[in-house]
Structure 1
Amino acid sequence: MRQRGLALTALRITTTFGALRHPAYRIFWAGSCTSFIGTWIQNVAIGLYIYDHTGSKQALGAVGLASGIPTTALLLFGGVLADRVDKRRLLFLTQSLYALNALALAGLAAFGRAETLHVVIVSFVNGLIFAIDGPTRQAFVYDLVGPEDLATGVALQSASFNAARIIGPALGSVVYVTLGAEWCFLTNAASFGAVLIALALVRTPQHTSPGRSDGISALGGVRASLGYLRTSQSTRTILLLTGAASVFGMSVYQTLMPAIALDSLGISESDTRYGLLFSAIGVGSLIGAYIVGRNADAGRRGLAVFGGAAAFAVALLALSQIHVYTLALLVLTAVGMAAVTQLATANTLTQVLAPDGMRARAVSLHMFAMGGLQPFGALMAGTIGQRYGVSMALMVGASALLMVTVFLAVRRPDVVRLA
């Protein structure tokens, strides 16, 4: 009976998340889960390290800006490259470079030489790597599962990243306080071993055609991407909303999280409760990913994109007024759920609407809107937060996101109705 119960549970999971039916995807996903935990350990350690050494919200924004500048400049070229070469090999290279970069930061911190400038440089290099890794990783999901299970594949990738948000920050804050920042960075470097092993084991299914050059230059490939964006009004609307969610939502609360904890909630950087704030976002993100996977075939993707953005804005407005720790945990759970619902569904629609041979470039446009624009939001959040306070920065960002969402929904109701 117990075995039958386990079998039924497994069947329900694979029914809800159809991407898990593909062995290659399961291997890649498992490796990614481990690596993402290390990434979040480093992310929280960098924020704590910078704020602990400088006490400056603008310094937090500068780190975000440093990682975003190369992403903004090169992300579209990364999409062109991913459309032309073997994605598995390219991911093996980018993941190896991430590991080496984390090792370098760990070495600097261990010898007491990790100044703010060094962290900015490391963030800049990570931004360069992300410009290639981001679109390649997302398009690789399509290669592994095909169009029929893409929605659940994207949702699971988002879920794994945000599940790591539950474990990583809580673990990272403990490691930071007890062992030091260098051990956080070293743990991140080691975690990339899991995804490298997974990539070594994975073989792309035969139905996927290998990447190849389309006979035009890299710059020509970028022009083709922009040309596609001009002709596809639905994709353009989705990306505009994703960009707004990134600039006015994601970058604002992520950049100011150390200041939110200290100024609004009275939690110091050394308090282990700090990591639980990120964990609350991760729990909400898991709920959002489950909702996306559960409704993958429900035909309401356009509504999910706009509804998720509106809920994201409302949750951030609520966060701006909260000074009680337990209430902040609840609201941050809602933040994570709404953000993943919007971003994961937008990612799926962008790939589904894209023609073959343009998919990685379409993903790069999505990644540009989601990540490439974040440094501008980070700079805005840091400046407003420094001058007018954390609550005002959150209110400005949330209000702007809500206005953009309503405006686009009124202008393009056909996109809201997309299946």
Structure 2
Amino acid sequence: MNNKPDQFRGDDDGTGRPKYSGGVLSFSLSKTFASFKNPLYRLYYLSMVGHWSSLNMQMLARNLLVYRINASGAILGVLALAGAIPMIIAAPIGGVLADRIQKKNIIQIGQVLSIVVSLATTLVIVFGYLGPEHPESWWVLVVSAALQGGVMGFMMPSRAAIISEIVGPEQLMNAISLNNMGMNAFRIISPALAGFLVDLVDFWVVYAVMTVMIVFSTVCIMLVPPTSAPKDSGGANPVNEMIEGWRYIRREKTILLLLIFTVSATVLGMPYIHILPMFTEDILKVSATGMGVLQTISGVGAIVGSVILASLMNRRRGIILLLSGLVLGVTLIGFAFSSLWYLSLFLVIFIGMGSTIQTALGNSLIQFYSDAAYRGRVMSFFMLGFGLSNLGGFFAGIIAEGIGAPLSVGSLAGVLLIMTLMLLAWSPKLRRLD
């Protein structure tokens, strides 16, 4: 069931020497970059770098462009909704496919579709239709968000589940933590670069660079050999396989608890990013470069969180997961009501740290406790959290239009804080999880 063999618990660092274990955190700095010894993981990592750097640039460019075309929180919400619905629909299908066929093939198809969407958006901007001069043109960004959301839902269960096939269960948390470290390194670079390019040239340059990065990512994943034999579905109905995956999750209470917390934390904690232009343009009064700097500083905190996770042993991970939810909730409330630039910069460090630890640790724990036969479908439910966070972004935008961005973000963060405190108090199973 959910009790993993002792060799997956990690009681030494591979040399026979005991690890340092103290209190909640147990570290072994010698294992921080262990997964990089695997050449296949290095290829996967490079592919991830290209993919996520383009997504971070897209998040800034798309939200800022639509806000400059039509300065409306509601339109920002619609943009988030457009990405949410296709992602929510596609994620379960992507999960079933991830358990049936080669995961790298699914990733390749998704990446090629992403290239098409990014290149098409670039051309629409270059030809002069998409921009503030055409207030009606925001629909193009809604369509691109919908297409990208569907691609993400289709592809991401495979991108998440393939890691365990590349590195194995013993290095899974380390590999996922390093994966998040790379993602967050480009959260430092990509938004700042995107904001700088917008101010220096125009939005089309950002989309052109994004397209090049996705091409690079696609080439890298093509070089990864097949990681597992495709499963013989025996003609099983895909819908029945989805239902079977859900029944498995319901049986495995540890996985169910982890999914409830991680998905809820993502839905409540991440919508602020969708209405960030309302903070930077209207409250903090900074340029596109300033918005990029804000996301960059958040990436610094995320890097710190990733390094901490990569160095952690497989002990007391449940309590660390819950503590990350507390950090995220408290700092989001502070950020929501801050009108001071430097205070906001300070707070987003801890927002980045809390969100990264919560997401990466939740990801690794869910995969660690999932049977291989169900892992793709289980990860599709995990990925639903990102689709639902876009849905949360829709509601955050609508609420912000009515009562303001601070109350919108602050209320969602307050719910996250209350939920985490309740789990800390009344869920010993999650609190004591290794």
State the TM-score, normalizing by the size of structure 2: 0.89
5+ long unaligned stretches in structure 1: 1-11
Counterpart contact for 2:85–2:391, Cα < 8 Å:
no
Corresponding residue for residue 157 of structure 1: 179
Aligned residues: 401
Corresponding residue for residue 168 of structure 1: 190
Counterpart contact for 1:83–1:212, Cα < 8 Å:
no
From 93, 97, 102, the counterpart of 2:109: 93
Write the letter of the residue equivalent to 1:171: L
What is the CA–CA distance in structure 1 between the aligned matches of 2:146 and 2:165, rounded to whole Å? 29
Q: Is 2:426 the partner of 1:416?
A: no
Alpha carbons of structure 1 residues 204 and 145: separation in structure 2 relative to 1, 3 Å = farther
Q: Secondary structure at the match of 1:256?
A: helix
From 70, 87, 98, the counterpart of 1:54: 70
What is the CA–CA distance in structure 1 between the aligned matches of 2:225 and 2:92, rounded to whole Å? 26
Corresponding residue for residue 316 of structure 1: 332
Alpha-carbon distance, 1:214 to partner? 5.4
Alpha carbons of structure 1 residues 123 and 221: separation in structure 2 relative to 1, 3 Å = same
Corresponding residue for residue 263 of structure 2: 243
Measured against aligned partners, the alpha-carbon deviations of 1:176-228 in whole angstroms (never above 9, x if no partner) come to 122211111111111112212212222245xx444442542110111011111
Q: Is 2:365 the partner of 1:346?
A: no
Measured against aligned partners, the alpha-carbon deviations of 1:81-132 in whole angstroms (never above 9, x if no partner) come to 0111111122111111101110011111111223111110111011111111
From 353, 356, 367, the counterpart of 1:337: 353
Corresponding residue for residue 138 of structure 1: 160
Alpha-carbon distance, 1:64 to partner? 0.8
Counterpart contact for 1:84–1:214, Cα < 8 Å:
no
Corresponding residue for residue 69 of structure 1: 85
Alpha carbons of structure 1 residues 150 and 409: separation in structure 2 relative to 1, 3 Å = same
What is the CA–CA distance in structure 2 between the aligned matches of 1:93 and 1:74, rounded to whole Å? 14
Alpha carbons of structure 1 residues 13 and 90: separation in structure 2 relative to 1, 3 Å = farther
Counterpart contact for 2:83–2:387, Cα < 8 Å:
no
5+ long unaligned stretches in structure 2: 1-27, 131-136
Alpha-carbon distance, 1:14 to partner? 6.7
Matching of residues 136-215 of structure 1 within 5 Å: 136-204=158-226, 208-213=228-233, 215=235
Write the letter of the residue equivalent to 1:103: L
Alpha-carbon distance, 1:371 to partner? 0.8
Counterpart contact for 1:82–1:211, Cα < 8 Å:
no
Single out whichever of 122-131 and 213-222 deviates more from structure 2: 213-222
Q: Is 2:45 the partner of 1:29?
A: yes
Alpha-carbon distance, 1:391 to partner? 1.4
Alpha-carbon distance, 1:321 to partner? 2.5
Counterpart contact for 1:33–1:160, Cα < 8 Å:
yes
Single out whichever of 306-315 and 322-331 deviates more from structure 2: 322-331
Measured against aligned partners, the alpha-carbon deviations of 1:318-354 in whole angstroms (never above 9, x if no partner) come to 1122222122111101000011111111111111111
Counterpart contact for 2:294–2:345, Cα < 8 Å:
yes
What is the CA–CA distance in structure 2 between the aligned matches of 1:330 and 1:214, rounded to whole Å? 55
From 377, 391, 408, the counterpart of 1:361: 377
Q: Secondary structure at the match of 1:357?
A: helix
What is the CA–CA distance in structure 2 between the aligned matches of 1:341 and 1:35, rounded to whole Å? 20
Corresponding residue for residue 407 of structure 1: 422
Q: Which runs of 4+ in 1 moved over 4 A?
A: none
Q: Is 2:142 the partner of 1:120?
A: yes
Alpha carbons of structure 1 residues 211 and 25: separation in structure 2 relative to 1, 3 Å = farther
Write the letter of the residue equivalent to 1:288: G
Write the letter of the residue equivalent to 2:427: R
Write the letter of the residue equivalent to 2:275: L
Write the letter of the residue equivalent to 1:263: D
From 279, 282, 297, the counterpart of 1:263: 282
Counterpart contact for 1:14–1:20, Cα < 8 Å:
no
Corresponding residue for residue 286 of structure 1: 303
From 409, 418, 421, the counterpart of 1:394: 409
Alpha carbons of structure 1 residues 95 and 14: separation in structure 2 relative to 1, 3 Å = farther
Counterpart contact for 1:139–1:363, Cα < 8 Å:
yes
Corresponding residue for residue 254 of structure 1: 273
Counterpart contact for 1:106–1:186, Cα < 8 Å:
yes
Alpha-carbon distance, 1:298 to partner? 4.0
What is the CA–CA distance in structure 2 between the aligned matches of 1:167 and 1:14, rounded to whole Å? 27
Alpha carbons of structure 1 residues 13 and 24: separation in structure 2 relative to 1, 3 Å = farther
Counterpart contact for 1:14–1:21, Cα < 8 Å:
no
From 229, 247, 269, the counterpart of 2:249: 229
What is the CA–CA distance in structure 2 between the aligned matches of 1:113 and 1:374, rounded to whole Å? 30
Counterpart contact for 2:36–2:42, Cα < 8 Å:
yes
What is the CA–CA distance in structure 1 between the aligned matches of 2:123 and 2:383, rounded to whole Å? 31
Alpha carbons of structure 1 residues 191 and 212: separation in structure 2 relative to 1, 3 Å = farther
Which structure has more helix as a fraction of its residues? 1
Alpha-carbon distance, 1:150 to partner? 0.7
Write the letter of the residue equivalent to 1:258: P
Alpha-carbon distance, 1:47 to partner? 1.1
What is the CA–CA distance in structure 2 between the aligned matches of 1:383 and 1:265, rounded to whole Å? 20
Single out whichever of 76-85 and 209-218 deviates more from structure 2: 209-218
From 88, 100, 115, the counterpart of 1:84: 100
Counterpart contact for 2:266–2:359, Cα < 8 Å:
no
Alpha carbons of structure 1 residues 144 and 298: separation in structure 2 relative to 1, 3 Å = closer
Q: Secondary structure at the match of 1:373?
A: helix
Counterpart contact for 1:381–1:393, Cα < 8 Å:
yes
